[in-house]
Amino acid sequence: MSRNAKINTLLLLLVAALAVLPLALGLGEGKEEPFAGADAQAEAAITELKPDYEPWFSPLYEPPSGEVESALFALQAALGAGVLAYYFGVRKGRRQGLAQAERQPAAAQATATAPEA
């Protein structure tokens, strides 16, 4: 197994542990919504500290359900991952093209300057 494969395997195991450990250790037990997002936790803290708090503005679009909200969040994440993958793919392709052009400059010049019959 190469060094990169070992590092990738170790990183994959670390990510899996980060996902499973909170569930296995029961870190969310005793709470109504144990793994609620930061927005929900902030809203709960604000209403607990200052019950008469009025928000400055309301959202432009309020999804009809939590499932729709999750789907929109997943779509946003997928689009972001697609943009990043496209960028890194284009960057790698340019590097490979430059490297190939540097390896074959004489052959390209010879075919470009060859006299036609």
pLDDT in tens, 31-85: 666 667 777 788 888 999 998 988 888 889 888 988 898 899 999 999 999 999 9
Query: For the chain, what is the domain count?
Result: 1
Residue 69 included in any domain: yes
Residue 70 included in any domain: yes
Residue 6 included in any domain: no
Residue 87 included in any domain: yes
Confidence of residue 19 (pLDDT cuts 50, 70, 90): confident
The mean-pLDDT minimum among 53-57, 85-89, 94-98 falls in 53-57
Domain region containing 78: 62-106
Mean pLDDT of the chain: 85
Q: Any long-range contacts for 20-24 (C-beta under 8 Å, 24+ apart)?
A: none
Report the alpha-carbon distance of residue 109 to residue 28 in Å, rounded: 67
